[in-house]
């Protein structure tokens, strides 16, 4: 009913490999010929459309001819769009994001100050909380809001430096009296 298990583990017989290997070599030769004909070299920068145009098989040439008609229509639409007046981006979106950033900064500032002024919180715990806050707003972890995350991350760093300097100056003043 079932075939016997074999020790080949899916390996192909030598005859099959030779046939497949010859096909592979033919494909490699054809690819090299296309590269030489098109002047393509490894490591060079090429535009995708230019490379695709030089490597288009004959079967796709007919499809390309029909797509050229579509390209002409798209170009006409683009020209019409260029002649029409362009809309300016709405300023309210920027204002809203600025308001959000201000709210975030004020809440972070108050949180940092509460940690700094909490007498029951050890210094190690304060540092751990600041590191967690920095990690939460790190730009690499928030790529979807990249510029905003960068601004807030820098704000946190500056605010921590300011608070540490302020507390250091207060401690120096208290030591003098």
Which of these, 99, 129, 100, 132, lies nearest to 114 by C-alpha position? 129
Per DSSP, the three-state class of 79 is helix
Whole domain around residue 25: which residue ranges?
18-40+47-55
Query: Is 169 found in the same domain as 101?
Result: yes
Write out pLDDT tens, residues 12-70. Answer: 565 555 555 668 888 888 877 777 776 666 666 666 666 666 665 545 545 555 555 55
What pLDDT does residue 27 have? 84
Residue 125 within a domain:
yes
Residue 127 within a domain:
yes
Reported confidence tier of residue 84, pLDDT bands at 50, 70, 90: very low
Q: Which token pair is 176?
A: 């003098």
Residue 168 within a domain:
yes
Residue 160 within a domain:
yes
DSSP state, residue 88: P
Residue 122 within a domain:
yes
Q: What percent of the chain has pLDDT over 70?
A: 54
What pLDDT does residue 95 have? 65
Residue 143 near residue 153, CB atoms below 8 Å: no
Residue 117 within a domain:
yes
What pLDDT does residue 174 have? 80
Write out pLDDT tens, residues 101-112. Answer: 899 999 999 999
Residue 98 within a domain:
yes
Query: Is 101 found in the same domain as 51?
Result: no
Reported confidence tier of residue 92, pLDDT bands at 50, 70, 90: very low
How far is C-alpha 130 from the chain's CA centre?
A: 26
Write out pLDDT tens, residues 114-148. Answer: 988 888 888 899 899 999 999 999 999 888 888 88
Answer yes or no: is pLDDT of 93 > 70.
no
Which of these, 53, 54, 59, lies nearest to 33 by C-alpha position? 54
Residue 74 within a domain:
no
Q: How many domains does the chain have?
A: 2
Query: Is 103 found in the same domain as 51?
Result: no
Query: Is 111 found in the same domain as 51?
Result: no
Q: What angle do CA 37, 40, 44 make, to 5 degrees?
A: 170
HSE-CB at 138 with a 13 A cutoff on CA atoms is: 8
Q: What angle do CA 19, 25, 26 make, to 5 degrees?
A: 90
């Amino acid at each position: 009913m079932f075939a016997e298990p074999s020790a080949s583990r899916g390996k192909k017989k030598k005859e099959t490999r030779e046939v497949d290997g010859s096909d592979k070599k033919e494909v490699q030769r054809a690819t090299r010929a296309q590269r030489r004909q098109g002047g393509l070299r490894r490591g060079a920068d090429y535009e995708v459309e230019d490379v695709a145009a030089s490597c288009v098989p004959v079967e796709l040439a007919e499809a390309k001819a029909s797509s050229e008609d579509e390209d002409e229509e798209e170009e006409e639409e683009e020209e019409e769009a260029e002649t029409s007046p362009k809309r300016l981006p709405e300023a309210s979106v920027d204002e809203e994001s600025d308001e959000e950033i201000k709210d975030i900064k004020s809440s972070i500032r108050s949180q940092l100050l509460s940690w700094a002024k909490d007498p029951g919180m050890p210094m190690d715990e304060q540092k751990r909380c600041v590191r967690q806050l920095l990690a939460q707003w790190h730009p690499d972890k928030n790529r979807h809001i990249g510029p905003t995350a960068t601004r807030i991350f820098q704000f946190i760093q500056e605010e921590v430096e300011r608070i540490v300097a302020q507390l250091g100056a207060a401690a120096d003043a208290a030591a003098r009296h």
